Amino acid sequence: MSDTIIITYPFTGEVLQEFTTYSKEKLEDCLNHSQRVFTDWKFQPISYRTQLLERLSVLLEENKTDYANLITQEMGKPYKESIAEIEKCIWVIDFYKVNAANFLADELIQTEAQESFISKDPLGTILGIMPWNYPFWQVFRFAVPTLTAGNTILLKHANNVTGCALAIQNIFEEAGYPKGCFQTIIATHQQIEQIIESKIVRAVSLTGSEKAGRKVAEIAGRNLKKVILELGGNNPCIIQKDADLETHIRTIVRARMQNTGQSCIAAKRFIVEEEIYDEFLQKFKEEIKRLKFGAPLDPKTEISTMAREDLAIELQRQVDASIDMGAKIFLGNRRDKAFFEPTILIDVQPGMPVFDEEVFGPVAAVTKAKGQDHAFELAKTSNFGLGIMVFTQDIEAIRKRIGEVEDGAFFINEMVKSDPRLPFGGTKNSGFGRELSKEGILAFVNEKTVYVK
């Protein structure tokens, strides 16, 4: 029996569209189609695949406003951020268009053999399970290198951005990719488990919650499938006593409030040295209050409603529980359905939900540190390991601390962000494996040793 998926505009609750999950037979057809296409696609020369990337880039640029509108309507992202998301997708396409051939070239190794080298062969059909918060970017950063390496893709997107998922499939097909190379599937959690278990699916890439990651990793491990997990984070943002707040305060605010705070790599915990604590709080509050709230489709809007009301309710639970444990409200803490007012909590300590858990929404948790050593001790007090950011003028002193932090990213005087040129991923409960850069395109290839004597 099929399930119905109802898509609503988060700002008004207006119903936009309804979709029905695929039948068992249709999902089997998708799997088989993907396998059939792979047998030819894997032998296409890299020059052909990069030509398709050129067309893909042009289509996104030509239809940028339409795709941005779709993102904003389905998950409530402010329109100008949706435009920026499409532009970032173009960036990742252009990066692999230039670099894919070099990344995938045979790697010659000098041995006693007449010839020995590493051949980089595609694995087959790869399942991508993607979240709603960056509905185009998360897919393109996975799909572009994976397809360009010669694999085929099945996409299971978050239910509330099903329209985006189907639009993305259409983009790849319009760009000239063979039908079946990229397929969106609309499926239940139970069906996804069965798809992972299929012999046709060779690996899985998931971006999502820690809970989802554990479940997918369990199924994949049981079936000996490779899996890449990009999960949650509660990134620390250390404000050193010498930080240049005049220069960086807007970046610091954006690090927390981008996408209405719904980002795994957003700054979640602000750890501020006591000498600059009061000054930071005032500037932080003033800058947050300048953010323009409004309808997501208004090009001037900088912050709006969250993607769904249940997400706002969960955020309220984390805030209320932390207040019960001693945190204090410095700004905000008003909720109305899916809207959650930008909020600053102070006197936050380890053990509180807003310190220990991933906080997915416009809430900043601020903790006072007694010095640099204490600040880093607090920063490392986490089960997550996605990224850390430090604001300071003494860059050389902070360089010496890079090795003591386990996270997948260490940013100085900048917010943690993904960049096609750099590998991206986390450690600990933030997952494992890397996307983007050379690592991203090699994630789903068989690095085959070839030895000729």
The residue ranges of DSSP E strands in 40-191, in sequence order, are: 107-108, 115-122, 125-130, 152-157, 182-184
Rounded Cα distance, 319 and 363, in Å:
8
| Inside any domain, residue 286 | yes
Total domains present in the chain: 2
Domain that includes residue 402, residue range: 235-419
| Inside any domain, residue 70 | yes
331 and 381: one domain?
yes
Please write the tens of the pLDDT for every residue from 359-383. Answer: 999 999 999 999 999 999 999 999 9
Q: Which residues contact 396 (CB under 8 A, 6 or more apart)?
A: none
Query: How far from 228 is each of 201, 206, 440, CA to CA, in Å?
Result: 14, 6, 10
Contact between 24 and 119 under an 8 Å Cβ cutoff? The reply is no
Contact between 230 and 426 under an 8 Å Cβ cutoff? The reply is yes
Helix axes 46-62, 64-75, angle to 10 degrees: 70
Q: What CATH number is attached to the domain comprising 375?
A: 3.40.309.10
Q: 384-385 and 15-20: which strand pairing?
A: unpaired
17 and 54: one domain?
yes
275 and 382: one domain?
yes
Cα Rg of the chain, angstroms:
23
Instruction: Name the token pair of 75.
Output: 């998950």
158 and 298: one domain?
no
CA atoms within 13 A on the CB side of 47: 0
Element (H, E) at 189: helix 189-197
| Inside any domain, residue 424 | no
Catalytic sites, residue numbers: 230
67 and 201: one domain?
yes
Tell whether the torsion through CA atoms of 421, 220, 210 and 263 is positive or negative: positive
Rounded Cα distance, 437 and 425, in Å:
11
Query: How far from 136 is each of 107, 199, 343, CA to CA, in Å?
Result: 33, 28, 28
Contact between 407 and 390 under an 8 Å Cβ cutoff? The reply is no
Q: What per-residue confidence (pLDDT) applies to 2? A: 77
225 and 242: one domain?
no
249 and 392: one domain?
yes
Rounded Cα distance, 398 and 405, in Å:
11
For every one of its 453 residues, what pLDDT tens digit does the chain have, with 9 covering 90 and above?
Answer: 679 999 999 999 999 999 999 999 999 999 999 999 999 999 999 999 999 999 999 999 999 999 999 999 999 999 999 999 999 999 999 999 999 999 999 999 999 999 999 999 999 999 999 999 999 999 999 999 999 999 999 999 999 999 999 999 999 999 999 999 999 999 999 999 999 999 999 999 999 999 999 999 999 999 999 999 999 999 999 999 999 999 999 999 999 999 999 999 999 999 999 999 999 999 999 999 999 999 999 999 999 999 999 999 999 999 999 999 999 999 999 999 999 999 999 999 999 999 999 999 999 999 999 999 999 999 999 999 999 999 999 999 999 999 999 999 999 999 999 999 999 999 999 999 999 999 999 999 999 999 999
Query: At 73, phi and psi to the nearest 5?
Result: -65, -40
Q: What is the DSSP letter of 178?
A: P
Q: What per-residue confidence (pLDDT) applies to 57? A: 98
145 and 281: one domain?
no
| Inside any domain, residue 425 | no
| Inside any domain, residue 242 | yes
| Inside any domain, residue 60 | yes
> For residue 177, which of 368, 8, 33 has the smallest C-alpha distance?
33
Rounded Cα distance, 116 and 131, in Å:
41
Q: What CATH number is attached to the domain comprising 121?
A: 3.40.605.10
170 and 274: one domain?
no
Rounded Cα distance, 38 and 41, in Å:
5
Q: Which residues contact 97 (CB under 8 A, 6 or more apart)?
A: 50, 53, 54, 57
380 and 249: one domain?
yes
253 and 345: one domain?
yes
Locus of tokens 């980089």: 120
CB neighbour burial string for 303-335, b if at least 16 within 10 angstroms, e if fewer = bbbbbbbebbebbbebbeebbeeebeebbbbeb
| Inside any domain, residue 365 | yes
Q: What per-residue confidence (pLDDT) applies to 1? A: 61
86 exposure class (CB count in 10 Å sphere: 0-12, 13-18, 19+):
buried
293 and 225: one domain?
no
Contact between 236 and 224 under an 8 Å Cβ cutoff? The reply is no
